Amino acid sequence: MTAEMAMRTERGLCIGGAWVDAADGATVEVRDPATGELVGTSAVAGAADVDRAVIAARAGFSRWSALTADERCDVLLRAAALVDERTPAMAELLTREQGKTVADSVKEISFGAQVIRYYAEQGRRVSGSIRPTARRDIRSLVTWEPLGVVAAIVPWNYPVDLYAWKVGPALAAGNAVIVKPPVETPLAVAAFVQCFLDAGLPEGVLSDLPGALAAGSRLSEHPDIDAITATASTATGQAIMRSAAASMKRVTLELGGHSPFIVLDDADIAEAAAAAARRSFSNAGQICIAVNRILVADRIADDFVEAVAAEARAIRLGHGVEPGITGGPVTTAAVIEKSRRHIDEAVAAGAALRAGGRAPELAAGLRAEMFFEPTVLDRVPADALVMREETFGPLVAVHRFGADDDVAAIANRGDYGLAAYVFGDDLDRAWGVAERIHAGGVGVNVNDVSELQAPFGGWKMSGFGRELGTEGLEGMMQQRHIRIRRRTA
Q: CB-based burial of residue 448 (10 Å sphere; 0-12 exposed, 13-18 middle, 19+ buried)?
A: middle
**For the chain, how big is the Rg over CA atoms in Å?**
24
Amino acid of residue 379: R
Amino acid of residue 37: E
184 is catalytic: no
Catalytic residue, candidates 14, 73, 195, 288: 288
Instruction: Give me the half-sphere count of Cα atoms (radius 13 Å) on the Cβ side of residue 255.
Output: 22
The CA-based dihedral angle spanning residues 282, 284, 288, 292, taken in that order and rounded to the nearest 10 degrees: 90
Catalytic residue, candidates 97, 184, 254, 389: 254
- In 264-360, the DSSP E strands lie at 291-297, 352-355
Rounded CA gap, 53 and 219, in Å? 10
Rounded CA gap, 35 and 320, in Å? 11
14 is catalytic: no
DSSP string across 136-169: TTEEEEEEEEE-SEEEEE--SSSHHHHHHHHHHH
Amino acid of residue 330: V
User: End-to-end alpha-carbon separation of the chain, Å?
Assistant: 60
Q: How many helices (H) and strands (E) does the chain have?
A: 14, 23
What stretches of 15-128 show up as alpha helix (H) in DSSP?
47-66, 69-98, 102-123
Rounded CA gap, 303 and 130, in Å? 60
Query: Which residues, at least 6 apart from 90, have a Cβ–Cβ distance to it below 8 Å?
Result: 3, 7, 83, 105, 109, 160, 188, 191, 192
Q: In the chain, what is the greatest distance between 2 CA atoms, to the nearest angstrom?
A: 85
Rounded (5°) CA angle 287-372-180: 35
Rounded CA gap, 49 and 58, in Å? 14
Cβ neighbour number for residue 406 with a 10 Å cutoff? 11
Rounded CA gap, 56 and 18, in Å? 11
Contact 423, 445 (CB under 8 A): yes
Cβ neighbour number for residue 423 with a 10 Å cutoff? 27
Rounded CA gap, 402 and 381, in Å? 14
Query: Facing residues of 151 across strands?
Result: 178, 228
Give catalytic residues, as residue numbers.
Answer: 254, 288
